[in-house]
């Protein structure tokens, strides 16, 4: 079958309709050009040109072949350009998996940063649990994983991206929403919504351990497996909660976020993981962009304060924090939702 060099000879001659000018454009002499055209015609089994001592013209077959030959050359050029860009990490695709709690603040910044630096790279997102991300990395279905715990497994590399402080989420009408300097001790006896056991075990143990070490006993009213669900209950006035600072990007009408002095080790970590043999050329640039986004968040402003929220109105259906006396204690769910 014919080669790209033959197609270039043919399309150049078809454009010039003159062997001398076509040969000059191709930086070759006329005899090799004539041989290439003759070989191409022999391979195709048709005459592409009519020749005389004074002129060269395309045949009907030549005119039809010219359209397709030009398209093939254009496609070959795009393929070569795409390969070069992919080798430089300027094109191609990248699959990033993440836990749902990363999407509130961190992930949008990270994706924006990647798109800014690598606009030709297609980003595929996959929301899943940490365990499922581990399986996806092993199965080579994911390039980067954003998780809450380090993935210490053979063949994987993991690094801590961000250490977010926990902030207090309180119903807007609760006294702590207006307190000038709330402290951990003020949570003693208050209805409190925990992260569930299971996939959220690290947060659960971190919070319950903190309260035990501080001699504080909140009233644990629910144990749930989603930051969004926890904040929904806070919005309904059912309790207080400690959530990662990034969750303050979620706007609820009746939720206030307050800074709370906590020990330095009490924080929510985000980790980045990837396979050590991943040869995706876009991977390094994506890691750098993700790190930049994490650094921006670490230097960012504090969460929303009470005065930043619109005033509560009786029509919005939100309830003030119920008094402890006579309040029924809701049962914790028997099978918490998977980590989000």
User: What is the per-residue pLDDT across 130-143, written as a single tens digit (0 to 9) for each?
Assistant: 888 989 999 999 99
* For residue 336, pLDDT beyond 50: no
3-state percent helix, strand, coil for the chain, nearest multiple of 5: 45, 20, 35
User: Residue 118: what pLDDT?
Assistant: 83
Under the banding of pLDDT at 50, 70 and 90, the label for residue 153 is confident
Residue 300: per-residue pLDDT: 63
Neighbours of 139 (CB within 10 A): 8
Percent above pLDDT 70 for the chain: 86
Question: pLDDT confidence of 334, banded at 50, 70, 90?
Answer: very low
Tens-place pLDDT, residues 176-200: 999 999 999 999 999 999 999 876 7
CATH class for the region spanning 165-266+302-316: alpha beta
* Average pLDDT estimate for 84-106: 78
Q: What pLDDT is stored for residue 155 in this prediction?
A: 93
Specify the higher pLDDT residue, 61 or 105.
61
pLDDT for residue 11:
93
* 123 burial via Cβ count (<10 Å: 0-12, 13-18, 19+): middle
In this predicted structure, the answer to whether residue 281 has a pLDDT above a threshold of 80 is yes
Q: What is the pLDDT of residue 303?
A: 45
Q: Where are the beta strands (DSSP E) in the chain?
A: 49-51, 56-58, 92-98, 121-127, 144-147, 156-171, 191-195, 219-224, 241-244, 255-258, 267-275
Instruction: Classify domain 4-87 at the CATH class level.
Output: mainly alpha
Mean pLDDT taken over the chain: 84
pLDDT at residue 87, as a whole number: 67
Per-residue model confidence (pLDDT) at position 149: 84
Domain residue ranges of the chain, discontinuous segments joined by +? 4-87, 92-160+270-298, 165-266+302-316
> Which has more pLDDT, 212 or 149?
212
d(CA 66, CA 13): 10
Q: What is the CATH number of domain 92-160+270-298?
A: 3.40.190.10
Residues 6+ apart with CB under 8 A from 242: 166, 167, 168, 169, 207, 260
In this predicted structure, what is the pLDDT of residue 314? 36
pTM for the model? 0.63
At residue 301, the pLDDT reads 55
User: What mean pLDDT do residues 137-151 have?
Assistant: 91
Asked if residue 16 has pLDDT above 50, the reply is yes
- Lowest mean pLDDT of 248-252, 266-270, 300-304, name the range: 300-304
Of the pLDDT bands very low, low, confident and very high (cuts 50, 70, 90), residue 272 is: very high
Q: pLDDT tens for residues 293-325? A: 888 877 765 444 443 444 433 333 333 333 433
Mean pLDDT (whole number) for 68-85: 84
Same fold, 4-87 and 92-160+270-298: no
């Amino acid at each position: 079958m014919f080669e790209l060099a033959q197609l270039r000879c043919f399309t150049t001659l078809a454009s010039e309709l003159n062997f001398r000018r076509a040969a000059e454009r191709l930086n070759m002499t006329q005899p090799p050009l004539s041989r290439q055209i003759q070989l191409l015609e022999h391979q195709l089994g048709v005459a592409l040109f009519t020749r005389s001592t004074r002129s060269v013209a395309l045949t009907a077959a030549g005119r039809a072949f010219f359209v397709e030959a030009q398209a093939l050359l254009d496609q070959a050029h795009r393929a070569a350009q795409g390969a070069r860009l992919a080798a430089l990490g300027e094109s191609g695709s990248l699959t990033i998996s993440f836990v749902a709690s990363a999407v509130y603040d961190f992930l949008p910044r990270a994706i924006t940063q990647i798109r800014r630096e690598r606009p030709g790279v297609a980003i595929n997102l996959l929301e899943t649990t940490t365990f499922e991300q581990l399986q996806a990395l092993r199965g080579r279905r994911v390039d980067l994983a954003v998780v809450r715990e380090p993935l210490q497994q053979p063949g994987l590399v993991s690094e801590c991206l961000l250490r977010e402080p926990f902030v207090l989420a309180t119903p807007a009408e609760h006294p702590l929403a207006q307190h000038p300097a709330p402290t951990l001790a003020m949570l003693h006896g208050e209805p409190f919504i925990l992260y569930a056991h299971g996939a959220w075990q690290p947060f659960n143990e971190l919070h319950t351990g903190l309260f035990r070490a501080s001699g504080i006993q909140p009233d644990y009213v629910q144990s749930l497996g989603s930051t969004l669900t926890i904040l929904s209950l806070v919005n309904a006035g059912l309790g207080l909660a400690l959530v990662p600072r990034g969750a303050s990007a979620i706007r609820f009408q009746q939720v206030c976020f307050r800074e709370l002095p906590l020990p330095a080790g009490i924080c929510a970590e985000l980790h980045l993981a990837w396979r050590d043999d991943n040869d995706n050329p876009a991977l390094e640039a994506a890691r750098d962009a993700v790190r930049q986004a994490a650094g921006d968040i670490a230097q960012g402003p504090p969460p929303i304060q009470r005065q930043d929220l619109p005033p509560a109105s009786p029509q919005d259906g939100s309830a003030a924090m119920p008094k402890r006396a006579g309040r029924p204690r809701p049962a914790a769910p028997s099978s918490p939702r998977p980590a989000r």
